[in-house]
Amino acid sequence: MDHNDARWFQDAVFYEVPVRSYFDSNGDGKGDFRGLAQKLDYIRDLGVDCVWVLPMYPSPNLDDGYDIADFLSIHPDYGNVNDFINFIDAAHARGLKVVADLVLNHTSDQHAWFQEARSDPNSPKRDYYVWSDDPTKYSGARIIFIDTEGSNWTFDPVANQYFWHRFFYHQPDLNYDNERLHEEMLDVARFWLNFGLDGFRCDAVPYLYEREGTNCENLPETHQFLQKLRKMVDTEFPGKILLAEANQWPEDVVEYFGTEEDPEFQMGFHFPVMPRLYMAMSRQDRAPIVDILRRTPAIRPDCQWGTFLRNHDELTLEMVTLDERDYMWNVYAPNPRMKSNLGIRRRLATLMDNNRAAIELINALMLSLPGSPCIYYGDEIGMGDNIWLRDRNGVR
């Protein structure tokens, strides 16, 4: 990989790391940035080109940090901003890039914005979130976490209104119809890019806007904001990258690359190919992979797919047929505790029955696909899982 090439991401290997779980430098039982910095030689020697750091912000950690309470600070368990800067500098000294999670769609209900919004109907922050007296609005939007959430609306007794959330009830969605919020989120991106960060993996990008009569996903207004984000990054921080997390069919994900005139993301994860790698392994048949690749539209030469076998979430089965989902559950989740939402909460090694040859083969399949591979921390050593931990914690 040529680190001076603006398209360095097209032949890079990414490595996904939760700071809390990686390496503890001070003996408090929690990973931190000083510990992660101590492991950079190991990470580089794996053949990694870019470290993707999961949410590092202050958080009540009800969703492993994706419930952010402060966008402009570091979780105290992980150190401080200076520790983060030193980590980036140490990575760059070893020829490694660093990207971090940027959660655009929502905050924690503990965020100061939400606390002010719920407490004062006249506060400017009130319009940072989506409120309603009517919990039947946007009824066309699916409930994503069907095993825990009964509605996309939750009543807040302080505000005396319902607030909108596409994910957990404690993660209120931000209101992108508010132009002031646009500037807030652009400033969040600027804040971290100014420290030398090489880009962002942007979380849950399909859900930024709500419109009655739609499924509230992949809306034109969402793409317009993402074009604004990309324009700011290209203008003020040339050479930085944006990677989209859009758990959608490939024909929808390609829209997140934008156009030459109005680009959005340089990279997008290819979610539907992932479960089909496991289908192909269990059936000993390439057909599931071939079928989804045939369905995948061509992308511009300045863009790239991100491929992966596992990540910090469940092995999602949203982008498969009902029959395929049942098949995957029967093969890979024989214990009901292995299921989570519409997926499977197991790690790569246990999914492959700790069979080294199978682990090597499925990695070879993934590495042979078009795209830049992303390795989930611990998969390189056959790390196991714990189905007795709550929700996704068993694989984190």
Q: Where in the sequence numbering do the catalytic residues fall?
A: 203, 245
The residue among 304, 279, 301, 299 whose CA lies nearest residue 289 is: 279
How far apart CA 236 and CA 210 sit, in angstroms, is 29
Contact by Cβ (8 Å): 89, 34: no
The residue among 295, 323, 303 whose CA lies nearest residue 371 is: 303
For residue 374, the cross-strand partners are: 14, 308
Helix axes 356-368, 273-283, angle to 10 degrees: 130
How far apart CA 195 and CA 381 sit, in angstroms, is 32
User: Where do the H-state alpha helices sit in the chain?
Assistant: 19-22, 33-38, 40-45, 81-93, 112-119, 179-193, 220-236, 250-253, 273-283, 287-295, 322-332, 348-351, 356-368
User: Sign of the C-alpha dihedral, residues 323, 327, 330, 332?
Assistant: negative
How far apart CA 365 and CA 129 sit, in angstroms, is 43
Output b/e per residue, 165-200; b: 16+ Cβ within 10 A: bbbbbbbbbbbbebeebbeebbebbeebbeeebbbb
Torsion of CA 382, 393, 316, 141, to 10 degrees: -170
